[in-house]
Every structure is written in structure tokens, then in C-alpha cells.
Copies of this chain bind each other. A is one copy, B any other.
Amino acid sequence: MMNPNKFCATNWLYKVGLRPTKQRILLANLLMGDGKHQHFTAEDLFEKAKICKLKVSLATVYNTLHSFSESGLLNKVIVDGSRCYFDTRLDNHSHFFWEETGKLTDAPGNFLEIKNLPKPPKNSKITNVDIIIRLKEN
């Protein structure tokens, strides 16, 4: 019988209709394998793969991360004009962004609540509400 807690990259990919290729499985395991939520950039993941002596090209890391986020397997988070972060945690939650180090972390407490959210203008709908709490060390 299968252990439901063990992450299975192939199933994870099949669920959203992505073909489980070697590179996708490899990256999926790097991302989700340890069951902990992570925030990383394409470059971060590429480095991690290199350290683990896994063969993927940077372009594939970018393509893969975008496929994953378009399929809803990851969340894309934009905080910084230049880089793009991905988050393995999927529920809507706010982030701390450490301006000095460029690190992104989850803000504690999912009970953050917005009052009086403006209505979307006619003929439009809200796809997401991003909340970034910018921090400075002191």
C-alpha cells in the first residue's frame, strides 16, 4: 500500500496533466521532496540541482517553473523588480520580503484579513491579491 505522505513526483505531475519527464521529476523532488515549504528563484533551483549533480539546463528550470506555476503546482511571487520567486505553498498568504538580503519568507499567521477590499471595475475580475510586507533590519 502506498504511503500517502510520501511525495510522488509522477502523480503530482499527472494530476495537472504535465508529462513526467526526467527533468520535471528531478526538479519536483528538489522542490517538494522534503515536504517543507520553500521560496526560491529559478537561479536558486538551478544551483541546487548543480550541487546535487543533477543535469538540467537553466532554460529548462525556467520553463519548468513556469509550467508548474501555470498548472497551479507552485505560486509565483513578484517582489523585486528583477527577480521572480516561486513558493511551494499554495494557499493565499502574505510574505515578508527582506530588502537587504533579498530573502522571501512566509509572514506568520494566515489570519491576516483585509477589510473593504475594493470591488473590481466592471468587466474585470480579481485574480489575486498580493500582500508583501517589506522589512528592513535595524
Contact = CB atoms under 8 A, between A and B. Distances in A.
A129 B131 contact: yes
B118 A115 contact: no
A21 interface: no
For A108, A112, A125, A134, the residue with the greatest tally of chain B CB atoms inside 10 Å of its CB is A134
A122 to B, nearest CB: 10
Nearest to A79: B78
Interface string A97-138: 011000000011101111111101101111111111111111
A40 to B, nearest CB: 15
Contacts of A83: 81
A134 B94 CA distance: 15
Contact of A125 (B94, B109, B130, B138): B138
A126 to B, nearest CB: 6
6 contacts: A98-B124, A112-B115, A114-B114, A124-B137, A125-B135, A128-B133
7 closest A-B pairs (Cβ-Cβ)?
A113-B115, A124-B135, A128-B134, A130-B132, A81-B84, A107-B118, A127-B134
